[in-house]
Amino acid sequence: MVSEFKQVYEKNLPIVEDKESKDIDNYLELFINYKLKVKEAYDLKLDTVKAYQQEFEGYKQQLIAPYLYDEETLNELVQQAYNRTRKEVKASHVLIRYPSNGIAVDTLFLLEKITRIRQRIVSGEDFDVVAREVSEDPSARVNGGNLGYFSAFAMLYPLEEAAYKTQLGEISEPFKTKFGVHILKVTGIRQSRGEFDVAHILVKNSTKSRLKIDSIYQKLQSGASFEEMAIKYSDDFGSAKVGGKLPRFGTGEMVEEFENSVRSLTKEGEYSKPFKTKYGWHIVKLLKNYPVASFEEMQDELRRKVKRSKRASISNQIVLKKLKEKYQIKEYPKALEIFTKNKREAVKENELNAVVLSINEKKFLQKDFLKYIKLKKQASIQRLFEEFKNIELVNYFKEQLANTDPVYKSTLQEYREGLLLFDLMQEKIWNKASQDTLGVKAYYRSNQVKYGKEFDKVRGKVMSDYQDELEKEWIKNLRKNNTVVVKERVLRKLKRTYNQ
């Protein structure tokens, strides 16, 4: 308790300005009141309430999250994402999908198949033609596997990785995503221009669409207002009513012809010549260009994106590797044989008491493993056991963290007690004051000289003071019903330490 008091006092010392609050005797009284309230919360078993447990678990997961990332790797991934945000890659791909029963099957034959396809292209066949013939991405029949230009976070991370690590004009080695196995060809590399605000005029395809768009263009050339022309003539009725203005967009969010025309505009207010897309004929005007911001400006946003994306698993794997080196892990292959020799459904849970895994002193039984694999019928036992081991390894780390990291331990305790205290104050003071109309009015009448005659005008102040009065009475009872012992020698030593 002494170390806790010292820690809390030192933590709050820099943010306290008045001398009275810095006084150790005063602070000790506040600390005692706080601990008596927390004790009351435990006595009332508020920590066993389901709503409290769920809320505390949410806070706990937020607090522990940073410990599950390798900071050095995370920083490298954030820098990588920024570099890729500044440079865009254009690529085409061929996809061979996994069979319907998913990635758990042996994919060696798929890799062999995609390797043969790659060899055809490397030997001289046209990528576009081969993609239209063999790719199992349905859009490849139309676009030859063209993915257009993209940058960080626009594609699955393995595909992004392959695109940025393959030279212009080269064919990547085969790689896997959740959809299947791929190869890709890099067909373009360019610097990103960031995002754009534009307005456009659209004339949908018809026998006279070209004549109409040319007529509008001539009017613009003669000085007509772009906004007025959009309102009057554009077939994109959603944007027409706001002068043709479209939502801000970046690379890969518009069809390629539209995006290329926007990129050709370099000055705000400049508009393009008529051009055609699958939607019809357009004229586009550049309203504003938002270049890629500096790394310092984007760092926090990129860090959040990295943590939410699959690439964060690279950092997680580094953490797992460190945990495997840190802990004593023992596997028991003999205990796993029952799962490989029998059908899982036939295994009886009450018979599964042999140890399958141990992490330091903690043991995991066959029944624990069975609980994990019950609904996972596709993957092999070996793969499922590896997943089970990794999950339990992280869980063990989480359990031990309070014993190994003092900062985490103290912050977790603050969360735990803070939530308990909130629930306790709500029950003992706030709800009671708001529901006790007679008590509030009686308090007002006994202090009417202080507040004046019109209750409705001072209701808020009266309610606040009444709550303070209830709390003072409650603390008085807590001190009466509990024994508080202060170690005077220790207190004197603390005062000498802080020169009081």
The phi and psi torsions of 411 (rounded to 5 degrees) equal -65, -40
For the chain, counts of helices (H) and of strands (E): 24, 10
Confidence (pLDDT) at 220: 98
Q: Please check whether residues 370 and 423 belong to one and the same domain.
A: no
Residue 305 maps to a domain:
no
Q: Please check whether residues 125 and 211 belong to one and the same domain.
A: no
Q: Please check whether residues 423 and 377 belong to one and the same domain.
A: no
For residue 292, pLDDT beyond 80 = yes
Number of structural domains in the chain: 4
Q: Please check whether residues 258 and 183 belong to one and the same domain.
A: no
Q: Please check whether residues 415 and 448 belong to one and the same domain.
A: yes
Beta strands in 98-204 (DSSP E): 146-150, 175-176, 180-191, 195-204
Confidence (pLDDT) at 104: 47
CATH number of the domain encompassing residue 219: 3.10.50.40
The phi and psi torsions of 261 (rounded to 5 degrees) equal -65, -40
Q: Please check whether residues 399 and 422 belong to one and the same domain.
A: no
Q: Please check whether residues 398 and 410 belong to one and the same domain.
A: no
The 10s digit of each residue's pLDDT in 375-388 is: 776 678 888 999 99
Which region among 75-79, 166-170, 299-303, 483-487 has the lowest average model confidence (pLDDT)?
A: 483-487
Q: Which of 242, 266, 290 is the last residue of a domain?
A: 290
> DSSP assignment of 41-78, as one string?
HHHTTGGG-HHHHHHHHHHHHHHHGGGGS-HHHHHHHH
Average pLDDT rounded to a whole number, residues 104-128: 89
Confidence (pLDDT) at 343: 56
Q: Please check whether residues 442 and 352 belong to one and the same domain.
A: no
The 10s digit of each residue's pLDDT in 237-291 is: 999 999 999 999 999 999 999 999 999 999 999 999 999 999 999 999 999 999 9
The band of 18, judged by pLDDT with boundaries at 50, 70 and 90, is low
Residue range(s) defining the domain that contains residue 345: 327-403
Q: Which of 174, 189, 204 is the last residue of a domain?
A: 189
Termini Cα distance of the chain: 21
Residue 48 maps to a domain:
no
Which tokens sit at 41?
Answer: 């919360």
Average pLDDT rounded to a whole number, residues 364-384: 85
Residue 304 maps to a domain:
no
For residue 394, pLDDT beyond 60 = yes
For the whole model, what pTM was predicted? 0.70
Average pLDDT rounded to a whole number, residues 462-484: 91
% of residues, the chain, pLDDT over 70: 93
Residue 174 maps to a domain:
yes
Report the chain's mean pLDDT, rounded to a whole number: 90
Residue 20 Cα distances to 25, 152, 466, angstroms: 9, 54, 24
Average pLDDT rounded to a whole number, residues 475-480: 93
Confidence (pLDDT) at 8: 73
Residue 309 maps to a domain:
no
The band of 16, judged by pLDDT with boundaries at 50, 70 and 90, is low
Residue 392 maps to a domain:
yes
For helices 50-64 and 406-425, give the axis angle rounded to 10 degrees: 150
Which region among 98-107, 255-264, 307-316 has the lowest average model confidence (pLDDT)?
A: 98-107
The 10s digit of each residue's pLDDT in 189-226 is: 999 999 999 999 999 999 999 999 999 999 999 999 99
Residue 485 maps to a domain:
yes
Confidence (pLDDT) at 229: 98
Q: How many CB atoms lie within 10 A of CB 185?
A: 24
The band of 337, judged by pLDDT with boundaries at 50, 70 and 90, is confident
| Residue in the block written with tokens 């808020």 | 460
Which tokens sit at 175?
Answer: 């790689």
Provide the residue type at 461 as one letter.
K
Q: Please check whether residues 229 and 211 belong to one and the same domain.
A: yes
Residue 69 maps to a domain:
no
What's the order of all strands across the beta sheet hosting 180-191?
A: 146-150, 87-97, 180-191, 175-176
Q: Please check whether residues 456 and 433 belong to one and the same domain.
A: yes
Identify the bridge partners of residue 280 per DSSP, sorted by sequence position: 204, 277
Q: Report the C-alpha gap between 132 and 497 in whole angstroms.
A: 79
Q: Please check whether residues 350 and 438 belong to one and the same domain.
A: no
Q: Please check whether residues 383 and 466 belong to one and the same domain.
A: no
Confidence (pLDDT) at 445: 87
Q: Which of 403, 423, 452 is the last residue of a domain?
A: 403
